[in-house]
Amino acid sequence: METAKSFFNAPNIIIIFAYFAIMVMMGVYFSRKNSGTEDYFLGGKTLPSWAIGLSMVATSMSSITFLAMPAAAFALDWRMIVPSFASPIVALIAMWIFVPFFRKNAQVSAYEYLHKRYGNGVRLYSSIVFLIIQAVRMGAILYLLVIPLNLITGIDPLWIVLLTGGSATIYTLLGGMSATVWTDVIQSFVLYIGGFIAIAVMAYLVPGGLTSLIQTANEHGKFGLGAMEWDPSQRTFWTMLSIGIVGATGGFTTDQNVIQRYLSARSTRDARKATFLCATLSLPTWALFFLIGSCLFAFYQILPDPALNELPVDAVFPYFILNSLPPGVSGLVIAGILSAAMSTLSSGLNSFATVMVTDIWKPYLLKGKTDQFYTKLARGFTALAGILMFIVSYVLLRSEGESILDFNYKVAGLLSGVVVCFYLLGFFAPQVNRRIIWQSFTISFGLNVYLVLVELKLIPNFLHLHIHPYWVYPFVVVVMIVLSLALAYLQKSKPDKEEEER
């Protein structure tokens, strides 16, 4: 492989410097428009629907999108895109059910509804779980960004973390939701441009162009969607689709990043238009990055490179960027990788601060303060989120990153399983009152913890539940919903007084 110094040329340096400068300047610009918490958390409810829609798409992407999806298609096929098939369908349902529901029952946070429906305990539990998962997720995304950028540029990993995470924290802290959304818009275009450039260069360099790449990839099964039989122990088509349905449902009903954008729109109609745009663009976006992986495989089949034998699959795309893209073009693609990560980080930072202020400090710990006080507090918690993000990424850098990262993802994913049930039961099962929800929660949470401990091999599987880790989240969701409905029926429960009044 060429030395990393080959990346440092005038066009690349100018592009990367300009990218970071524009992001920070946007934060400074929007800081002047934030006069209160509504401006900071919701952009003053003046954001256009198309910008919110692009922001929703950008928020769902990360450095994982730009690197892991091409790697998955390069190594195997497109089966990892199957969960994304559910997103457009669930998004369309969300347009008509969840968007108006949250705009009616929440002002800033998704968890305000849980307070109305089930009381303080459920709201606090869900908020704290979100904050923990968000901190881990942001740190993990920042860590994953280090790997390719260090390989391509040779910059010390700690400096990559500080520069990228620091820039995202600064413009989010200053500009709030407006800066987050408008930088997401720019970042989404940069990301798409980077992806299309990569495919265009591959097509230009091989005989026969794009047609040759597609044919070669197809001959090697790089567009497959996985085995079609039903086998819960394997990553078959139906396993991945089931995971996608549950994940998308949770994303559009419990994810503060998404719901905050519902609430940022000028009207319910605009929120629906934004969600429709997200539904329209999401699947083609994932497909673009899987196509990069398939074309990358075909590219090196047509133009073999012995150096690939010594590279892990995740390093193949960075290797291509470093060795096959001309100066300036490689800078644009790197800007695309940065955009994928920073759009997710800024949304995470803003939503972390929103939940800390709206769901914990304002209603319980610091009541009755001025709006200006809560705005300053929000900026403080944005900075705190940035610090936690740095700590997580630093721990991953100094540890056996892959094993710890896998551990964090499993624990975070498994322990959040019950939260989506609070919303689904709240929406569709008024007979499941506060007493029933705590009964079913206690049992389901215990099951969730048991499955986590079994997965981590800390206790024996004395219940003999042999479930693939991918199935634990859907399994716990189904158990809690069925259990809640059964307990409500057996106890002949009635809706809480507050629910009857609504």
DSSP string, 33-63: T--SHHHHHHGGG-B-HHHHHHHHHHHH--H
Using the predicted structure, report yes or no on whether residue 384 has a pLDDT greater than 90: yes
What is the rounded distance in angstroms from the CA atom of residue 352 to the CA atom of residue 375? Answer: 14
CA distances to 42, 149, 253 from 45, in Å? 6, 36, 20
CATH numbers and ranges of domains, the chain: 4-397 (1.20.1730.10), 416-502 (no CATH)
- Please, which pLDDT band fits residue 294 given cuts at 50, 70 and 90? very high
Cα 169 to its chain centre, rounded Å, is 17
Which residue in this structure is represented by tokens 């959040």?
416
Q: How confident is the model at residue 292 (pLDDT cuts 50, 70, 90)?
A: very high
Question: 3-state DSSP call for residue 327?
Answer: coil
pLDDT for 501 equals 45
Lowest mean pLDDT among 45-54, 67-76, 262-271, 479-488: 67-76
> How confident is residue 305, by pLDDT bands cut at 50, 70 and 90?
confident
Reported confidence tier of residue 132, pLDDT bands at 50, 70, 90: confident
Averaged over 410-419, what is the pLDDT?
63
User: pLDDT > 90: what percent of the chain?
Assistant: 10
DSSP characters over 296-313: HHHHHHHS--GGGGGS-G
Cβ-contact 140, 408 below 8 angstroms: yes
For residue 174, pLDDT beyond 70: yes
Return the pLDDT at 252.
83
Q: How confident is the model at residue 483 (pLDDT cuts 50, 70, 90)?
A: very high
Please give the pLDDT value at position 20: 84
* pLDDT at residue 227 greater than cutoff 80: no
Tokens linked to 264 = 């940022």
- The better pLDDT of the pair 35, 444 is held by 444
Q: Could you give the 3-state DSSP secondary structure of residue 265?
A: strand
- What is the predicted pLDDT for the residue at 319? 84
Task: Give how far the C-alpha of residue 358 lies from the chain's centroid of Cα atoms, to the nearest Å.
Answer: 21
Residues 250, 87 contacting (CB under 8 angstroms): no
Please check the confidence at residue 42 and state whether its pLDDT lies above 90: no
pLDDT band at 320 (very low <50, low <70, confident <90, very high): confident
d(CA 335, CA 112): 37
Query: Which of 328 and 235 is assigned the larger pLDDT?
Result: 328
Dihedral, CA atoms, 233, 237, 240, 242, nearest 10 degrees?
-90
Which amino acid, residue 166? Answer: G
Question: 300-306: long-range contacts at Cβ-Cβ below 8 A with a sequence spacing of 24 or more?
Answer: 301/216, 301/220, 302/206, 302/207, 302/212, 302/213, 302/216, 303/205, 303/206
Name the residue among 246, 281, 235 with its Cα closest to residue 60.
Answer: 281
Judged against a pLDDT cut of 70, whether residue 406 lies above it is answered with no
In this predicted structure, the answer to whether residue 336 has a pLDDT above a threshold of 70 is: yes
DSSP secondary structure letter of residue 495:
-
| pLDDT band of 1, cuts 50, 70, 90 | very low
Residue 453 CB: number of other CB atoms within 10 A? 14
Average pLDDT over residues 369-386: 88
Which amino acid makes up residue 71? A
Place 485 in a pLDDT band, splitting at 50, 70 and 90.
Answer: very high
Structural contact between residues 58 and 184, judged by C-beta atoms closer than 8 angstroms: yes
In the three-class reduction of DSSP (H, G, I as helix; E, B as strand; rest coil), residue 424 is classed as helix
What average pLDDT does range 467-490 have in this prediction?
82
Q: What's the DSSP call for residue 326?
A: P
- Give the model's confidence band at 65: pLDDT under 50 very low, under 70 low, under 90 confident, else very high: low
- Mean pLDDT, to the nearest integer, of 41-68? 80
Distance in angstroms (rounded) separating the CA atoms of residues 229 and 425: 31
Q: How confident is the model at residue 4 (pLDDT cuts 50, 70, 90)?
A: very low
* C-alpha separations of 424 from 274, 298, 482 in Å: 22, 44, 12
Q: What is the pLDDT of residue 200?
A: 92
Mean pLDDT across 167-175: 85
Mean pLDDT of the chain: 82
Confidence of residue 498 (pLDDT cuts 50, 70, 90): low
- Model confidence at 404: pLDDT above 80: no
